[in-house]
């Protein structure tokens, strides 16, 4: 079966409606690299639509103008009608000329225009955009700007002092594919057993490009170690340099110590992070706070979580990487891949697989929380969430993996997740103590129905029976995905 277009139906319909207006549009599309921004635009553009697409290089004006000229040749845009630009001023005018001629102009990696050496372009483009906006009903084309760094796109288009402030007509922000779409990919091209779902989701989450890379390598349904070898360790592996090319190279090594520690010790505290950085790099210690701010606010690659119901001023925060792929790379794959030139391939692949199994423990919690939220949003099942799922911890060593609140029905679910069913069952007596301390700390839930949930990727009947005997509800990924699989086959 050939590769298809998965998910994104709402975004696709919205973009198609924008393009169908047959009047000037200026659309901002944001989302991490590889998330499918370009694929969405390709899908939305109708056959016969005049298109000009260029990926803006992280370069100076000469490099950008050269890339534009090359793409104009590729898209066979006649030089007699549209001269190749030799300055940023002429590039801005080219955008206007193409839009007036009915072209959909797409500038990818637009955030690079926030670099000092290119920043003049936005002021020059402002004049063109204002003219086009004034004649909107007579302009059949438009401009789409795509970007992967949120704060730099915001600086160009949303800050009040920015030349292009308040000029966009529409905005789209692409997140990960939902789990239903991932299940549809697996149903068509691999298998949908819980272990396969957890393995691939721990690596790729909802980034469609990564699934497609494995599909094109013919390993999407292959055993774990074969997939890892072909996708990350072979000389032609499509994902071998992905983390560097996608993100780490842009950081120039400044944040390595922080990123690696958070990847390998998810849920670390500020004190633990400071102590680690002090040990590995005394020169970096004083900059940890600033580095964290950049990684949280600019790149959105680290998040600081507080226990559920905590005030924002409380100092119980824990740090996590937001991106599954980056965490899997830093925690499990980067070291074995770098060692493959000096060690047996079989050995380093096995080492990567074993480390990845550890990564899957936290990924299971994130996947289960995502499934709870997705099921509630789509009206599947009887548990109706009224706020975002979060974990809980305190100084008394209370630890709840997930707290799910159904406020309208006055039901509170306290969830424990373990990758191993045996460890899950064995840990239930200890978790009872966590539940008791949590309930005592929040007397307002005294009249609510308290449900204890135990989750593993898959549970056999003996394990389920032992869980139920302890007063828990047993759930696995079969239970949480069954209805989504039905939807993926039949449609909503």
pLDDT tens by residue, 374-421 = 999 999 999 999 999 999 999 999 999 999 999 999 999 999 999 999
pLDDT tens by residue, 62-76 = 999 999 999 999 999
Give the Cα separation of 218 and 190 in Å (integer): 10
Give the Cα separation of 217 and 201 in Å (integer): 18
Whether the predicted pLDDT of 269 surpasses 80: yes
Phi, psi of 142 (to 5 degrees): -170, -175
Provide CB contacts within 8 A for 395, sequence distance 6+: 316
Whether the predicted pLDDT of 250 surpasses 70: no
- Which pLDDT value is given to residue 151? 81
Q: Map residue 475 onto helix, strand or coil.
A: strand
Nearest to 391 by CA among 420, 363, 414, 424: 414
Select the CATH number that applies to the domain covering 369-490 from these four: 3.40.91.50, 3.90.950.10, 3.30.830.10, 3.40.50.300: 3.40.91.50
Q: Where are the domains of the chain?
A: 9-173, 369-490
* Across 201-221, average pLDDT: 96
pLDDT tens by residue, 290-349 = 889 989 988 889 999 999 999 888 888 999 999 999 999 999 999 999 998 899 999 999
- Which pLDDT value is given to residue 356? 97
* Beta strands at 104-108 and 51-55: parallel, antiparallel or unpaired: parallel
Give the Cα separation of 8 and 174 in Å (integer): 8
pLDDT tens by residue, 77-110 = 999 999 999 999 999 999 999 999 999 999 999 9
Mean per-residue pLDDT over the chain, rounded: 93
Distances (CA, A) of 84 to 106, 118, 122, 123, 206: 17, 18, 19, 20, 39
Distances (CA, A) of 205 to 81, 150, 363: 45, 20, 9
- Which pLDDT value is given to residue 283? 63
**153 close to 147: Cβ distance less than 8 angstroms:** yes
- Which pLDDT value is given to residue 146? 96
Give the Cα separation of 33 and 247 in Å (integer): 9
How many residues in total does the chain contain?
492
pLDDT tens by residue, 148-181 = 887 889 889 988 999 999 999 999 999 999 999 9
* Across 271-289, average pLDDT: 80
Whether the predicted pLDDT of 249 surpasses 90: no
For residues 341 and 15, which has the higher predicted lDDT (pLDDT)? Answer: 15
pLDDT tens by residue, 101-120 = 999 999 999 999 999 999 99
Domain 9-173 fold is Rossmann fold (3.40.50)
- Which pLDDT value is given to residue 114? 92
* Across 258-286, average pLDDT: 86
Helix (H) or strand (E) holding 75: none
Give the Cα separation of 92 and 96 in Å (integer): 7
- Which pLDDT value is given to residue 111? 93
Whether the predicted pLDDT of 247 surpasses 70: no
Q: Map residue 60 onto helix, strand or coil.
A: coil
- Which pLDDT value is given to residue 280? 81
Q: How far is CA 16 from the centre of its chain?
A: 23
Provide CB contacts within 8 A for 187, sequence distance 6+: 485, 488, 489
* Across 360-386, average pLDDT: 96
* Across 266-280, average pLDDT: 91
Whether the predicted pLDDT of 248 surpasses 70: no
Whether the predicted pLDDT of 281 surpasses 90: no
**Residue 33 pLDDT class (50, 70, 90 cuts):** confident
Considering just the CA atoms, what is the radius of gyration of the chain in Å?
Answer: 25
Residue given tokens 């292959």 in the structure block: 222
Whether the predicted pLDDT of 235 surpasses 70: yes
Residue given tokens 């109708």 in the structure block: 46
């Amino acid at each position: 079966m050939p590769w298809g277009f998965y998910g994104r139906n709402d975004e696709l319909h919205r973009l198609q409606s924008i393009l169908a207006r047959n009047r000037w549009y200026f659309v901002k599309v944001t989302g991490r690299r590889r998330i499918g921004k370009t694929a969405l635009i390709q899908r939305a553009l109708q056959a016969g639509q005049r298109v000009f697409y260029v990926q803006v290089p992280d370069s100076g004006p000469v490099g950008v103008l050269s890339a534009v000229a090359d793409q104009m040749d590729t898209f066979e845009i006649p030089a007699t009608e549209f001269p190749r630009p030799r300055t940023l001023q002429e590039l801005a005018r080219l955008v206007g000329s193409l839009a007036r001629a009915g072209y959909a102009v797409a500038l990818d990696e637009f955030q690079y225009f926030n670099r000092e050496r290119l920043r003049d372009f936005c002021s020059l483009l402002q004049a063109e955009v204002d003219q086009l906006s004034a004649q909107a009903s007579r302009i059949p084309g438009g401009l789409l700007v795509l970007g992967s760094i949120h704060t730099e796109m915001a600086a160009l288009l949303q800050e009040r002092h920015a030349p292009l402030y308040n000029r966009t007509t529409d905005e789209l922000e692409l997140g990960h594919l939902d789990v239903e779409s991932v299940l549809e990919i697996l149903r068509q091209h691999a298998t949908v057993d819980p272990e396969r779902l957890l393995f691939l989701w721990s690596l790729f989450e909802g980034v469609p490009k990564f699934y497609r890379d494995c599909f094109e390598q013919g390993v999407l349904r292959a055993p774990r170690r074969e997939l890892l070898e072909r996708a990350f360790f072979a000389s032609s592996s499509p994902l071998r340099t992905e983390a560097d090319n996608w993100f780490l190279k842009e950081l120039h090594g400044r944040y390595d110590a922080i990123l690696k520690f958070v990847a390998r010790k998810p849920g670390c505290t500020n004190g633990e992070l400071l102590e680690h950085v002090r040990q590995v790099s005394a020169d970096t210690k004083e900059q940890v706070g600033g580095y964290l701010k950049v990684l949280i606010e600019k790149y959105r690659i680290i998040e600081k979580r507080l226990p559920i119901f905590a005030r924002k001023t409380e100092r119980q925060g824990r740090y996590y990487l937001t991106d599954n792929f980056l965490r899997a790379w830093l925690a499990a794959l980067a070291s074995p891949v770098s060692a493959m030139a000096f060690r047996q391939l079989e050995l380093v692949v096995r080492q990567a697989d074993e480390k990845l199994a550890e990564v899957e423990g936290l990924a299971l919690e994130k996947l289960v929380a995502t499934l709870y939220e997705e099921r509630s949003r789509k009206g599947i099942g009887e548990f109706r969430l009224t706020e975002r799922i979060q974990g809980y911890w305190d100084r008394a060593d209370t630890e709840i993996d997930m707290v799910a609140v159904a406020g309208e029905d006055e039901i509170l679910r306290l969830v424990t997740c373990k990758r191993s069913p045996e460890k899950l069952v064995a840990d239930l007596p200890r978790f009872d103590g966590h539940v008791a301390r949590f309930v005592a700390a929040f007397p307002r839930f005294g009249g609510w129905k308290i449900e204890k949930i135990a989750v593993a990727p898959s549970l056999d009947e003996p394990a389920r029976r032992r869980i139920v005997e302890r007063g828990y509800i047993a759930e696995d990924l079969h239970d949480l995905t069954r209805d989504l699989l039905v939807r993926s086959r039949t449609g909503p």
